[in-house]
């Protein structure tokens, strides 16, 4: 095992956190002059600090390209490991804050709009237990760059396993519960009073759905093709679940919503599920995290609350969620 003196001589005295931070900022800004402006220093100072860092590691870290300054292969290696080190330091400070003030802290969450109803339930659950916990919510979709770049702690997702997002990325998925999708209409729609509906009757209906390459749109395509029918051309294509709910509740549009939204949103929008089976595929709601990344106490409490809230949506969700890992690239 290396002695402390070896650490200081080999790395500790050569690489400074300030230099790493400047290096990260240059890559984020795409130029040394823009980085200098953000940092409030001169461009020559930034150039000198980057040169010191290159001398410390013994390799060229930056190259110029038509799009600005980019990392070399050596720079990419330092960026990946260095960002992880900085993130661990930030997490350590957040842990210290949590220890000093139990029940406080911040959770940064990525969430598609179709999972916000469930997210609201989880936030209420966490807040009842830990009133001082703060939440930052951002929309997040595959390939989960915000999570990989450690800008957020976790992501709610509707994929059983995340896509391969590049070398060194190791994402972990925990299934909370299966959240199947249903065709829905407003209570004033004539279809709402029907006990039996043949899918062929809806081929020419006004559908309002997400794009067909995401789960809700894919399930509509599945249902029609399983019957040997051409999928309908959507009257409106949108990711916005609020727009889908609003138009379905006030007009003759047919929308597609997950069960969790139906259970939590029916009182607000007055929607009714149609007696149709859209797809036999599983449609799990999952939590995606970075494996081998330490989560703060607040983030861990949030995940535990998500598991507990999930029990209301599936009997099987009370057991620990199934875990899947993407292969390392």
Sign of the torsion formed by the C-alpha atoms of 199, 203, 204 and 205: positive
C-alpha distances (whole Å) from 19 to each of 11, 38, 93, 215, 244 are 13, 15, 20, 44, 49
Among 204, 214, 279, 209, which Cα is nearest to 240's?
Answer: 209
Is 307's pLDDT higher than 90?
yes
Instruction: Give the model's pLDDT for residue 99.
Output: 61
| Average pLDDT score over residue span 174-201 | 92
Residues 13-70 pLDDT 10s: 567 778 888 888 898 899 889 988 888 888 888 888 888 888 888 888 888 888 888 8
Percentage of residues in the chain with pLDDT exceeding 90?
Answer: 31
Specify the pLDDT at position 101.
64
User: Which one has a higher pLDDT value, 308 or 52?
Assistant: 308
The mean pLDDT of the chain is: 82
Pick the closest to residue 126 from 109, 141, 146 (CA basis).
109
Sorted by where each starts, the structural domains of the chain and their CATH numbers stand as 4-81 (1.10.10.10), 104-175+285-325 (3.40.190.10), 181-273 (3.40.190.10)
| Beta-bridge partners for 107 | 135
C-alpha–C-alpha distance, residues 278 and 260, integer Å: 16
Q: Which of 48-62, 187-201, 229-243 has the lowest mean pLDDT?
A: 48-62
Q: Tell the burial category of 67 from Cβ atoms under 10 Å away from its Cβ (0-12, 13-18, 19+).
A: exposed
User: Residue 4: pLDDT band by 50, 70, 90 thresholds?
Assistant: very low
Give the pairing of strands 253-258 and 171-178: unpaired
Cβ(190)–Cβ(253) under 8 Å? no
Name the band, by pLDDT with cuts 50, 70 and 90, for residue 261. Answer: confident
Cα–Cα distance, 273 to 186 (Å, whole number): 9
So what's the pLDDT on residue 133? 92
pLDDT at 100: 57
User: Residue 132: left if φ>0, alpha if ψ -120 to 50, beta else—which one?
Assistant: alpha
Encode pLDDT of 127-150 as tens digits: 999 998 999 999 887 778 889 888
Task: Pick the more confident residue, 169 or 175.
Answer: 175
Q: What is the pLDDT of residues 71-125, one digit of tens each?
A: 888 888 888 778 877 777 777 777 776 665 657 788 999 999 889 989 999 999 9
Polymer length in residues for the chain: 329
Say what the pLDDT of residue 265 is.
60
Residue 288 — pLDDT band, cuts 50, 70, 90? very high
Query: What's the confidence (pLDDT) of residue 7?
Result: 45
């Amino acid at each position: 095992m290396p002695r402390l003196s070896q650490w200081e001589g080999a790395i500790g005295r050569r690489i400074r956190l300030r230099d790493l931070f400047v290096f990260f900022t240059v890559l984020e800004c795409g130029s040394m002059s823009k980085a200098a402006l953000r940092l409030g220093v001169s461009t020559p100072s930034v150039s000198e600090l980057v040169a010191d860092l290159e001398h410390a590691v013994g390799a060229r870290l930056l190259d110029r390209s038509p799009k600005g300054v980019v990392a070399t292969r050596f720079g990419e290696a330092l960026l990946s490991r260095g960002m992880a080190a900085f993130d661990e330091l930030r997490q350590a400070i957040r842990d210290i804050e949590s220890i000093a003030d139990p029940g406080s802290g911040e959770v940064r969450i990525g969430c598609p709009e179709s999972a916000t109803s469930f997210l609201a339930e989880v936030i209420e659950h966490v807040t009842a237990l830990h009133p001082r916990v703060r939440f930052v919510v951002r929309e997040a979709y595959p390939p989960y760059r915000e999570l990989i770049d450690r800008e957020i702690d976790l992501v709610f997702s509707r994929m059983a396993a995340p896509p391969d997002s590049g070398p060194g990325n190791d994402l972990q998925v925990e299934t909370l519960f299966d959240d199947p999708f249903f065709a829905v209409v407003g209570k004033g729609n004539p279809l709402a009073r029907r006990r039996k509906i043949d899918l062929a009757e809806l081929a020419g209906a006004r559908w309002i759905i997400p794009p067909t390459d995401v789960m809700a749109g894919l399930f509509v395509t599945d249902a029609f093709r399983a019957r040997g029918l051409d999928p309908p051309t959507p009257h409106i294509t949108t990711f916005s679940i609020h727009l889908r709910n609003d138009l379905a509740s006030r007009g003759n549009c047919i929308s597609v919503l997950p069960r969790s939204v139906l259970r939590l949103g029916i009182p607000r929008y007055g929607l009714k599920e149609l007696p149709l089976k859209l797809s036999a595929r599983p449609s799990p709601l999952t939590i995606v995290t970075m494996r081998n990344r330490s989560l703060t106490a607040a983030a861990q409490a949030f995940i535990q609350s998500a598991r507990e809230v999930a029990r209301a949506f599936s009997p099987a969700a009370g057991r620990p969620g199934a875990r899947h890992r993407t292969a390392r690239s």
